[in-house]
Amino acid sequence: MAIKISRGRKIFLFSNLTLLIVVSCIMIFPFIHVIAQSFSSSSAIDQGRVSFLPVEFTLDNYSFVFQDASIWRSFGITIFITVFGTLFNLLATASLAYPLSRSELLGRKFLLLMVLFTMIFSAPLIPTYLVVQNLGLTNTIWALIFPTAISAFNMFVMRSFFMKIPKELIEASRIDGMGELRILFQIVLPLSKPAMATLGIFYAVFHWNTYFQALMFIEDRSLYPLQIKLREMIIDENFTSDPTSDFYSSMLSSSPEGIKMATIIVATVPILLIYPFLQRYFVKGFMLGSLKD
């Protein structure tokens, strides 16, 4: 039997759809404009003739980007930080969320309160820097991974998901002689793929867009991640006009804006490609993990 939709409901659905389309266009059009500029010639960009389609189509901008060894080095550093950092984050978060999801853990409420405190009151900048410095992590890529090992919000999401796993399954595993680590890695984590995929996206995007931490902890230019490299290309005029850099000298004399846009696309597209593979886990994992007990 067909369900009759009221007039008010139709108006609401139409208004909601219209609003979502407008917001989507506002978000997508700038990205399309950047793509168009990355494939356009220098003269077309300088004359303001590029809108949403390339003008005087060229691949020279991407050719410059792919020929720059420093871009590839920063790209590799960002990939390492994203892959290793995400795996480390998931392992550390699961290691904390699992015991806090078990009611038999002594002092569980106190530990949860301490974790909640760090989510409400974040550590000040100077003490954070001093801790990282005293640990000998400054000017290393580990400074971009270890200080952010666990996100309190993500831990609570994962803990809520773990609490949905039947207690009988955990108790049966213990009766069979399995230790807590085996239960975590062989029972709990395989059943938590939606939550792991969802939080993995959050952590991966965070690491891929690492900017402020790299700006604060990294001084060696050879260790700059991709976002700091982009900052130097787009903001720092002294960097782009460095006479000792053959690459950027030729960039200034050809298509500086086009090359900047091409670099932005190269830095953005890889992380966007992750979503289609994890989309089916995303909504399910986030909704299940956000339920309160």
d(Cα 58, Cα 258) in Å, to the nearest integer? 10
- Amino acid 285: pLDDT: 52
pLDDT under 70: residue ranges of the chain: 1-3, 236-255, 277-293
d(Cα 293, Cα 201) in Å, to the nearest integer? 24
- Amino acid 283: pLDDT: 58
- Amino acid 246: pLDDT: 54
Looking at CATH, the fold of the domain delimited by 63-289 is given as MetI-like fold (1.10.3720)
- DSSP assignment of 33-75, as one string? HHHHHHTS-HHHHHTT--SSS-SS--SHHHHHHHH-HHHHHHH
**Which residues belong to CATH 1.10.3720.10 in the chain?**
63-289
Secondary structure class of 197 (helix, strand, coil): helix
- Amino acid 196: pLDDT: 86
Structure tokens, 268:
């953005």
- Amino acid 44: pLDDT: 80
